[in-house]
Amino acid sequence: MKKILLFLSLAFLLNNHFSYSQSQSFQELMDLGVTQSRLGNHAAAQSYFSQAIAIKPDDAIAYYDRGVTKANLKDNRGAINDFGSPKNVMLYLSLS
């Protein structure tokens, strides 16, 4: 009986872990991207920012942050594309 309860508990925990990791929110992904960028893990940061953009494609800050990580990875063309995205152009114009 103890083995069955242990197995069911483990199965429940694993299921919750995998369902949580598959449904990370936009803000969680952005936070992970910022953390990885600050740690110097720019490739991981770029991945998190790209996932965030897939959830919320109109967010200018996500494009900007991804552009910064691309610049740190020496992907200048990619950085320029993200900095020059229509979302960022509109953000810059609204701040001027």
**Model confidence pLDDT, tens digit, residues 60-81:** 899 999 999 999 999 999 999 9
pLDDT more than 90, % of the chain: 57
Domain membership of residue 19 (yes or no) is no
Domain membership of residue 5 (yes or no) is no
Domain membership of residue 9 (yes or no) is no
For residue 76, give the CATH number of its domain.
1.25.40.10
Could you tell me if residue 40 is left (phi over 0), alpha (psi between -120 and 50 degrees) or otherwise beta? Answer: left
Total residue count of the chain as it appears in this document: 96
Domain that holds residue 39: 25-95
Domain membership of residue 34 (yes or no) is yes
By the 8 A CB rule, do 26 and 56 touch?
yes
**pTM to 2 decimals?**
0.69
**Model confidence pLDDT, tens digit, residues 43-59:** 999 999 999 999 999 89
